[in-house]
Amino acid sequence: MSPRSAKPLRRILEYLAACLALLAAWKITALCVGSAILPQPEDALLGFGLALIDPAFWKHFFASGYRAGVAMALAWLVGFPLGVLMGGVKRFDAVAAPMVFLTYPVPKIVLLPVVLLLMGLGNASKITMIALILGYQVLVAVRDGVRNIHPKYLDSIRSLGAGNARIFTEALWPAALPHGFTALRLNSGVSVAVLFFVESFATTKGLGYLIMDAWGRLAYVDMFTGILGMSLLGVLLYETVNMLEHLTCRWKR
């Protein structure tokens, strides 16, 4: 059942089958709609195929991939250790938890103007925005994960005479890893969505720009190149997280 345990080749076949099914649905819809706004899948695929051999497309793709990738790494670097600390140290949690949970329900995207003012229109603000949204998810998932570690595991390691530092490195940290990765994986879609949003203005690089620009030019096949590019990026981010989890959480295989 777990998607992580599937073999790579099988995984790719599964993706291909899903693609075929989606293409079929697309074709039927396109035939029904019969408008240039929804191009025929074969036209879109041809456009996408041509884009794949066009360096300009890859410039946009890597610009987006860079933003999303750096944001995910940042979210992890801040959210994961903070989450483990909050989950594991009651006194720290007492101070930090109210701040986290007071700001948790605020949709971070509304902070965009503030972030733009503080960090300018460049990559920094875009990355910060995505990292902020993802970081919260990682932090909260990891904190809960650590708090829910069965006490018997902590008893088990304490019975060996281990101090707090050991309990951290040998129990809390590894036990939290899958929770952090799950949050990151489930939210890889969210990060692509936010990416699209922050790339739709004040930049001329990135798949979000590609989509908005093509839309403005009524170039619907180009627009779908951007959309397919974003989908590809989403799948790659998801699979990267899967791979990282596979490498670091061997016991979960």
Per CB under 8 A, residues contacting another protein are: 152-153, 155-162, 166, 170-171, 174-175, 177, 249-251
Name the minimum Å distance from CB 168 to another protein: 13
Cα 239–Cα 245–Cα 248 angle in degrees, nearest 5: 145
Nearer to another protein, 10 or 155 (CB): 155
Name the minimum Å distance from CB 90 to another protein: 15
CB 137 within 8 A of CB 83: no
Nearer to another protein, 105 or 155 (CB): 155
Name the minimum Å distance from CB 11 to another protein: 22
Residue 51, CB-side half-sphere exposure with 13 Å CA sphere: 23
Nearer to another protein, 65 or 87 (CB): 87
Nearer to another protein, 90 or 166 (CB): 166
Name the minimum Å distance from CB 94 to another protein: 19
Cβ partners under 8 Å of residue 198, min gap 6: 67, 112, 125, 126, 129, 130, 208
Q: Annotate 7-17 with b (16+ C-beta within 10 A) or e (fewer).
A: eeeeeeeeeee
